[in-house]
Chains A and B, each alone.
Chain A
Amino acid sequence: MTDYIIRNGFVYDPVLGINGDIMDVAVRDGKIVDAGDVTKATEIDASGMTVMAAAVDIHAHVAGPKVNVGRNFRPEDKLFNCNVGSGVKRMEAGFSVPTTIRTGYLYARMGFGFSMEAAMPPLYARHTHEEIVDTPIIDQGALPVFGNNWFVLEYIKENEVENTAAYIAWLLAQTKGYGVKCVNPGGTESWGWGMNCETVDDVVPYFDVTPRQIVDGLIAANEMLGLPHCMHVHGNSLGEPGNYGVTLDTLKIAEGHKPNNEFGRESVLHHTHLQFHCYGGESYASKSFESKSKEVMDYVNSTDNITFDLGVVTLDETTTMTADGPFEFHLSHMNSLKWANTDVELETGSGIVPFIYNPKTFIAGAQWAVGLELGLLVKDPMKAYVTTDAPNAGPLMRYPRVYKWLMSAKAREDMLNNVLKYGDSIRARCYIGELDREISLYELAMMTRAGPAKTLGLGHMFGSLKAGLEGDVAVYPYNPESDTDDPEKIEYAFGNCATLIKGGELIIKEGEVVSNGRQKRTFWVNAKTNENPVVERDISEKFKRYYTVTQNNYTVEGHHYMPNPYVIEVDATK
């Protein structure tokens, strides 16, 4: 394997406390090493450029059944959004829901090394893994959804945390999943009957449990197992005006839970796309709607066991997709566009609706503001991760644009003054006008690398340039000394990295993709638990009576689903 030394870049690494020092970064045998430890390395000149560890995405919908519904039912998403294949590159297509091939190239161009698929329906795990296999270059994992799963609902109703944990461990091994995702707890099961859970104390029909119990039980089970990632929640009442109270109720469930893991993770609850959950008022009208980002952030800033990602609205035409089935139904009635839905037996559901965040409307601009406010109001950037909940609040390819808005007050002013039609109402109803903070490159490295890696329990592999970590390095054509004049330079640079080294392999050379990656890995977590005959019997009964596949045909195994697995072993037998 070729060794590389990246010379004379401005290096940012919050883990090592390096803040823009001009240094050399070296990669040998696929790992980061001290620059003095390489001798015959290929030299890459990064002078005048920004060097960081490759980025880590904690939450994006890029592979799996609902993503593919989004692709197949939106031919218009490909219109004028195709690239002809050339050299090693295969053809690419799609804007808000790119093909897997384009997803891999997009991540590479933005300097990413790892992405977590945010919601995997367990029964469809094979599909998710097949797409992951066909996504070039980046390492990936996937979070199975648990928040509406019949086993979980039944165990939690009886306060059986140990059984919940045993079931989680079993399911992770069956589906080759990475951790515990919980989407609209209880609400999606209610949607099986056309209903929903709108607060944390609404009762799930028949199962007689509440979202509060579900979130609490899943956190407890997650920590009992000591999984690398914490419980990852998308709370109730997403997108509803006035939902911030529900959000605070959800976040407060973390009180009294302590992290228990060997991966350095400090969070017990990760709240995803928090932007959608910080709304005040009673409607989307400018007279009523208001941002409650400050109220939510005041609480988050006072805790030490909660993390979140932003879910910034990028004001594009996009495709929304979530396991929150009732929300998508609701959304389809708001915009009258096409609506796809799939309820999944015993486990979950999902919905997909195209959506246009129109900058000429008040509400889209206000949503844009709320997402950015969260990133600007956080005290410790290690808790707040940049996402667009891709593609829900905006397409994956818009990450660099979000960085620009976070890093430049001038860029935000330009939006409020010149792009958004209701800039003044947005200033009045949101906090954005009061915030002049500009996220620094050092903080950006926390919010896109060190932070998400730590909360995923992958700080020992990704997110820093510390010797021994994976050889994932991105070089951006951005000079932090001379390029500060124009915020557009930020957006360009972070979407067009000059060099990407992934696992020690040169993927992008002088801005061009030169390899599809030879060692792309799929990450999953194998948690060993004590024998549990109760759970074992319950599983076998449910498969005999209520599933439409046999238990033996449920397990995902075989080279073609995972040619290159990376298994994280957890021992929860003590």
Chain B
Amino acid sequence: MSRSWMRLRSLRRSAYRQVGNLAKIVTDVVCPFCGTLCDDLEVALDDSGEKILEVYNACAIGAAKFLHSQAEDRLTRPQMKQEDGSWKEVTYDEAVEYTAQMLIDAKKPLMYGWSSTSCSAQSVGSELGEVVGACMDNTATVCHGSSLIAVQDVGIPSATLGEIANRADRVVFWGCNPAHAHPRHMSRYSIFPRGFFTGKGSKSRKMVVVDPRRTDTAKMADIHLQLEQGHDYELLSAIRVAIRGEKLPKTVAGIPAETIYEVAETLKSGRFAVIFFGMGVTQSLGKNHNIDIAIAVTRDLNDYTKAAIIPMRGHYNVTGSGQVWGWQFGFPFCLDLSRGFARYNPGDSSSNDLLIRDEVDAAFVLGSDPGAHFPVGSVRKIAQMPSVCIDPHITPTSAVSKLHVPVAFVGVEVGGCAYRMDNVPIETRKVVEPPEGMLTDEEFLTMVLKRVKEMKGAA
């Protein structure tokens, strides 16, 4: 009566279950949308196993991502923009050739994105960037870059999301709106779970929301601090003062002193406090300093109770991109590899600054859409230079690029590792096959790398 644990695992790992005679259900599917990285989705396929019928457990956005991947009008081959602005289909080989030549010809290409793809693809991309001497940046540059800088200033006392679910009884959402941006965050991790030491679920927690708008998240809070927009630093500083029992002026950032004292007392009196924060603080004036002081509040709280702080990362694998670059180059974003070693200097080696100052001369975009999410002045620069957009979708970026290379959807049509907002790595699953003949990010990058090495060798 003995058997190995390995075999035991493989028996129960059957990720497919049969439903009736028709659909089959793929279980434990990981959602490749946001940094919440839910891993309990179930996807119903038709009996051929090729078509996604339904997506269970996902939020509306996650479901849309899976279902849209099979849209009838999806692009399946690269297209090159013609002189007259029209698009012409080209082969992947031609696309590889154009991309490799563009990267070789450029003095200082920008290789941007890297957040909606797997770590293996990021790793190949890193080597490619190293060989061509690129500036490499990921979407943190317009998202939690401020937080990464702040962590370099003051560190970060943090925890995994399961620690929050099992222990936290004081939960703060600062400048973030999970009801819209991370729709399952509160039910899976932060407010509603009945954890090991939080058996009463939401009843065992006090919820504080800090936001200039009365957001759908704020509407659920025990306390909503509707501060004046852009005054986060002042309010956080006031909370530090209040935690120490020192005197405050009558109002700070539009919030009465009594309320601030009440919030400080609420946090101190908990067994485990957590602050989640988002774009409201990273993108407002003050930027990294707002995060510095939010982290300082967390440090201070640890002198009275236990406290952690967690950034609400956006793309499902922006975190992984920072990790891969961390171990290969030592920095999480804003990499300048053009001198043969890695330099890091946000404000100088960051995408928007490079573009606005005309310091890069080609744009390679993968796994992100700067066309939609950069200020338009930066997008204009991309439009003026040789450019490649590698993205399954048609996007504002692909619209202004010279070459658009559609690829398989990571997490839907190909697996690969992704890092959750708390840095926990989870292997995404392949649910269906990509359309016939389509390449994955990693395959395309590998071909470009090989071609670039050939060209460099010949030169």
A and B touch in the complex (CB under 8 A): yes
**A482 within 8 Å of B (CB atoms):** no
Cβ contact of A332, chosen from B127, B155, B423, cutoff 8 A: B155
- B308–A130 contact, CB under 8 A? no
- B427–A528 contact, CB under 8 A? no
Q: Interface centre among A90, A91, A97, A329, by most B CB within 10 Å?
A: A91
A542-574 at interface with B (beta carbon < 8 Å): 545-553, 555, 557-558, 560-561, 573
**A216 within 8 Å of B (CB atoms):** no
Cα–Cα distance between A124 and B415 once the two chains are bound (Å): 18
Residues of A within 8 A of B30 (CB): 553
Residues of A within 8 A of B151 (CB): 72-73, 338, 340
B144-171 at interface with A (beta carbon < 8 Å): 148, 151-163, 165-167
**A322 within 8 Å of B (CB atoms):** no
- B423–A127 contact, CB under 8 A? yes
The stretch among B66-74, B328-336, B352-360 that forms the contact with chain A is: B328-336
- B130–A339 contact, CB under 8 A? no
- A85–B417 contact, CB under 8 A? no
**A256 within 8 Å of B (CB atoms):** no
Known: A73-B151, A90-B127. A134 touches B327 (CB 8 A): yes
Instruction: For residue A563, give the distance in angstroms from its CB to the closest CB of chain B.
Output: 11
**A65 within 8 Å of B (CB atoms):** yes
- A72–B322 contact, CB under 8 A? yes
Cα–Cα distance between A115 and B415 once the two chains are bound (Å): 30
The stretch among A4-12, A283-291, A344-352, A454-462 that forms the contact with chain B is: A344-352
Cα–Cα distance between A329 and B158 once the two chains are bound (Å): 12
- B163–A343 contact, CB under 8 A? yes
- A552–B158 contact, CB under 8 A? no
**B337 within 8 Å of A (CB atoms):** yes
Helix, strand, loop or mixed for chain B's interface?
Answer: mixed
Interface 0/1 of B188-201, CB less than 8 Å to A: 11000001110000
**A93 within 8 Å of B (CB atoms):** yes
- B424–A560 contact, CB under 8 A? no
Interface 0/1 of A115-138, CB less than 8 Å to B: 000000001101100110010000
- B5–A78 contact, CB under 8 A? no
**B413 within 8 Å of A (CB atoms):** no
**B247 within 8 Å of A (CB atoms):** no
Known: A71-B326, A100-B328, A170-B5. A130 touches B189 (CB 8 A): no
Cβ contact of A344, chosen from B12, B148, B155, B163, cutoff 8 A: B163
Cα–Cα distance between A567 and B252 once the two chains are bound (Å): 61
- B160–A72 contact, CB under 8 A? no
Cα–Cα distance between A29 and B40 once the two chains are bound (Å): 47
Residues of B within 8 A of A548 (CB): 160-162, 165, 188-189, 424
**B444 within 8 Å of A (CB atoms):** no
The stretch among A40-48, A399-407, A529-537 that forms the contact with chain B is: A529-537
**A353 within 8 Å of B (CB atoms):** yes
Residues of B within 8 A of A557 (CB): 427
- B157–A550 contact, CB under 8 A? no
The stretch among B83-91, B299-307, B369-377, B397-405 that forms the contact with chain A is: B299-307
Cα–Cα distance between A65 and B153 once the two chains are bound (Å): 19
The total of chain A residues at the interface (CB under 8 A) is 78
- B5–A529 contact, CB under 8 A? yes
- B160–A123 contact, CB under 8 A? yes
Cα–Cα distance between A561 and B423 once the two chains are bound (Å): 16
B108-150 at interface with A (beta carbon < 8 Å): 119-120, 123, 127, 130, 148
Instruction: For residue B416, give the distance in angstroms from its CB to the closest CB of chain A.
Output: 7
Cβ contact of B415, chosen from A193, A551, A558, cutoff 8 A: A558
**A36 within 8 Å of B (CB atoms):** no
Residues of A within 8 A of B271 (CB): 193
- B305–A194 contact, CB under 8 A? yes
The stretch among B215-223, B234-242, B338-346 that forms the contact with chain A is: B338-346
Cβ contact of B424, chosen from A83, A352, A549, cutoff 8 A: A549
**B272 within 8 Å of A (CB atoms):** yes
Instruction: For residue A20, give the distance in angstroms from its CB to the closest CB of chain B.
Output: 40
**B250 within 8 Å of A (CB atoms):** no
**B64 within 8 Å of A (CB atoms):** no
Instruction: For residue B211, give the distance in angstroms from its CB to the closest CB of chain A.
Output: 25
**A233 within 8 Å of B (CB atoms):** no
Known: A100-B327, A123-B424, A573-B2. A342 touches B322 (CB 8 A): no
Known: A75-B152, A123-B424, A329-B302. A339 touches B163 (CB 8 A): no
- B153–A338 contact, CB under 8 A? yes
B1-43 at interface with A (beta carbon < 8 Å): 1-6, 8-9, 12-13, 15, 27-28, 30, 39-40
- B155–A68 contact, CB under 8 A? no
Known: A340-B151, A342-B423. A174 touches B332 (CB 8 A): no
A205-231 at interface with B (beta carbon < 8 Å): 206
- A550–B39 contact, CB under 8 A? yes
**B425 within 8 Å of A (CB atoms):** yes
Cα–Cα distance between A537 and B340 once the two chains are bound (Å): 53
Cα–Cα distance between A233 and B20 once the two chains are bound (Å): 52
Instruction: For residue B262, give the distance in angstroms from its CB to the closest CB of chain A.
Output: 22
**B394 within 8 Å of A (CB atoms):** no
- A558–B427 contact, CB under 8 A? yes
Known: A130-B119, A192-B163, A548-B165. A343 touches B308 (CB 8 A): yes
Name B's A-contacting residues (CB within 8 A). Answer: 1-6, 8-9, 12-13, 15, 27-28, 30, 39-40, 119-120, 123, 127, 130, 148, 151-163, 165-167, 188-189, 195-197, 271-272, 299, 302, 305-306, 308, 322-324, 326-332, 337, 339-342, 344, 415-417, 419, 422-427
**Can you list 24 A-B contacts (CB < 8 A)?**
A72-B323, A72-B332, A75-B152, A75-B330, A78-B331, A91-B130, A91-B329, A91-B342, A123-B424, A124-B423, A126-B427, A127-B419, A192-B306, A339-B154, A340-B155, A342-B160, A352-B155, A528-B4, A546-B162, A548-B161, A551-B12, A558-B427, A560-B120, A573-B2
Given contact pairs A93-B330, A169-B5, A546-B165, a sample of 10 additional A-B residue pairs in the complex whose CB atoms are under 8 Å apart? A72-B331, A90-B127, A173-B5, A341-B155, A341-B157, A343-B159, A551-B12, A552-B28, A555-B9, A557-B427
Q: Please list the 8 inter-chain residue pairs (A to B) with the smallest Cβ-Cβ separation, ordered nearest first.
A: A345-B162, A338-B155, A84-B340, A82-B341, A126-B425, A194-B306, A573-B2, A343-B159
